[in-house]
Chain A
């Protein structure tokens, strides 16, 4: 059968899905994308068994058909074509793609038992703003260590805020934690833990329109639907630790610093601290003094001004955690709250008040 479609649409769909269709030695079928054509609609799906994506594009055609194909070469070929209309001729075992002056043939496989995404239509979801959602995911993921042997910490927790109408997205690796607050419409009960890696790979794609999120507790999946994309991600069954306990509200010491000052001093001192388990020492008083420990590479020291309130304090940090935080903030006034040397430290940015970061200090 012959169908026609736009080169750009096809490319975008394949880029998104091919990311999930790779390197699955246990189930080789999953190295392919699944294409289903139903008259005027083409659906392309792929899954790595943790997350699955389905992208819908419009085609000009009459029949219905489904097949499997390796996406990589097809994608590369399409990218080498000119923009505009592309013709696809689907035969028994091969696909012929052509444009004026070009033609290519690709082998295809009969559509066997490919696990397809099914969204239970009875589910009621919540709606979030794509861009806010994307930024929140990025923010929360700073604190996540993707290759963690604690499964609960490889995911982002979605939970409704206690007071007010906000959805909290939380990520942590046990030593730092990021919470982002976004608005949402609808009802959300309880909490779900969604693999961070999968979220990051799809967030960009769905991040510019409204996104609808459905949670199916029966099948243990979270579904994200935005314009022509549907994503299903398997929930993590382990429990996320109780993070509310570590979000302090009162502080023994609090300071306000400028992003630029803090960032440059940490950069200076980091050169020496990286030879020494990344540990830097902060002395907090009317000025903040940051130093590295003496190492065989030397030592560094810097001071910066701050607005200081409360008790003087000295404590240690892994500078990389601070740098990771600063890199995501980028500018403005930063408020930091401390409760002694051994308690978690809370950082908030004046420019992004709905983003909170917590870092565990290092015992010196």
Chain B
């Protein structure tokens, strides 16, 4: 209960029943000093500025004050008066103190949390890369299941666990989540996380400085080894040799090995066969590019981590336009920076504005040079090496349809020609055909980064 609010309400009531001058003289600098609920009496101790005020309130206004207090607090109150110098009187803090049970509990919880976080940091892991923060969707659910299984039974379930996929799909996050979970369950676990590059550099340093024994001591005696971007060691024979022995030593005593890479073992060129076969022995699982739902979920999770509430519909808008997870993070940073600098709430307008500035060429690059529709189609036919008549013609085989649809898309988006007109240009096709083509390309653009690259390449070719 906020005694200030209570007293304010009480004063408001009293104001109407006493003279203006009396109110200002005696009531203004009062406050509730404390409340004692001994037995049935609710004694409200009111602190007054000076002796005169105390006397007056006590003698003249006690009844008024009691009435107002009773009404405000809803219970029978007994006001008493003391004198306190300016401002003071309320040094008293209420609520759980230093020695209360609650505080004790909070402290021991925090101690555990902090110790765990220290372990996590020492193992080179990021505390936010947990299983809870990992958004799951069909594109990564198998990998997620495998990871949780390994976290439950390290050394037993899938060993080694080999996760591969494009940039930014969550391989490192998932791998570190396993590490954090393992440390939570067993703080004494010896766990190392290192990027493949770090492993490489360290072995080279060790050889150079003749410190290989300590290197081996560090890496071979662990219970869990996590190596990120293992493809990095390919082609470096000494490193691969060392890794081979490290791998065997750890596995021989039941240790767990988890690796990530940007491609499956069979596609890593210059990887020694004996390593490739060992990697393939374990579980090789891929993570695909995130779909729309996953991107939305990722946006919501990351916003929360950054201390901001992102409305679902806005997250969806962003997820529509941006497909790469790294770009999602970058966009969020930009968005929140704008919000903070302008002290404005998150609105669709700001998001849309920033999205337009962000999209690759889509709305930003207006064609610098005026190009006629014919030119566009000509350039496309040249690019895909399909004769002009075929593109304009009625044939519907795939190698012809695809460039035709791109052409229709560009004519609509860049040159802003109407559907009907485009239909005309392409040999009297119905405007709905054009609409379908444009839609299809838009949708695909949102899903595939390859297509985005291709379209911007096309644009470059056409407009420059």
Question: Number of contacts between A and B (CB, 8 Å)?
Answer: 82
CA distance in complex: A15, B225 (Å): 74
Identify the closest chain A residue to B99 (Cβ): A241
Interface of B toward A, CB cutoff 8 Å: 2-4, 8, 31, 87, 90-91, 93, 95-99, 102-104, 106-107, 110-111, 113-115, 117-118, 307
A-B complex: 7 closest residue pairs judged by Cβ atoms: A250-B114, A339-B110, A174-B97, A241-B99, A274-B87, A175-B93, A343-B106
Smallest beta-carbon distance A264→chain B, Å: 18
User: Would A339 and B98 be within 8 Å (CB), given that A277-B2, A277-B3, A295-B4 are in contact?
Assistant: no
- In the complex, which residues of chain B have a beta carbon less than 8 angstroms from the beta carbon of A339? 106-107, 110, 114
Most chain B beta carbons < 10 A, residue from A249, A251, A278, A295:
A278
CA distance in complex: A241, B99 (Å): 7
- In the complex, which residues of chain A have a beta carbon less than 8 angstroms from the beta carbon of B113? 252
CA distance in complex: A242, B104 (Å): 10
User: In the complex, given contacts A252-B110, A343-B106, A360-B103, what are 20 additional A-B residue pairs having Cβ atoms less than 8 angstroms apart?
Assistant: A172-B98, A175-B93, A242-B99, A246-B99, A246-B104, A250-B118, A252-B113, A252-B117, A277-B3, A278-B93, A296-B8, A318-B91, A320-B91, A321-B93, A339-B110, A340-B106, A358-B98, A360-B96, A362-B93, A362-B95
Q: Does any Cβ of B come within 8 Å of A342's Cβ?
A: yes
- In the complex, which residues of chain A have a beta carbon less than 8 angstroms from the beta carbon of B91? 278, 318, 320
Q: Does any Cβ of B come within 8 Å of A87's Cβ?
A: no
- In the complex, which residues of chain B have a beta carbon less than 8 angstroms from the beta carbon of A358? 98
Indicate which residue in A172, A312, A343 contacts B103 across the interface (CB closer than 8 Å): A343
Indicate which residue in B99, B106, B111, B118 contacts A342 across the interface (CB closer than 8 Å): B106
Identify the closest chain A residue to B87 (Cβ): A274
Smallest beta-carbon distance A273→chain B, Å: 10
CA distance in complex: A278, B91 (Å): 7
Most chain B beta carbons < 10 A, residue from A172, A245, A295:
A245
Interface of A toward B, CB cutoff 8 Å: 172, 174-177, 241-243, 245-246, 248-252, 274-278, 295-296, 312, 318, 320-321, 339-340, 342-344, 358, 360, 362-363
- In the complex, which residues of chain A have a beta carbon less than 8 angstroms from the beta carbon of B87? 274
| A-B pairs with beta carbons under 8 Å apart, 16 shown | A172-B98, A174-B99, A175-B93, A177-B98, A241-B98, A241-B99, A277-B2, A295-B4, A320-B91, A342-B96, A342-B103, A343-B103, A360-B93, A360-B96, A360-B98, A362-B93
User: Would A246 and B95 be within 8 Å (CB), given that A277-B3, A340-B106, A343-B106 are in contact?
Assistant: no
User: Would A250 and B111 be within 8 Å (CB), given that A344-B103, A358-B98, A362-B95 are in contact?
Assistant: yes
CA distance in complex: A362, B110 (Å): 18
CA distance in complex: A320, B96 (Å): 18
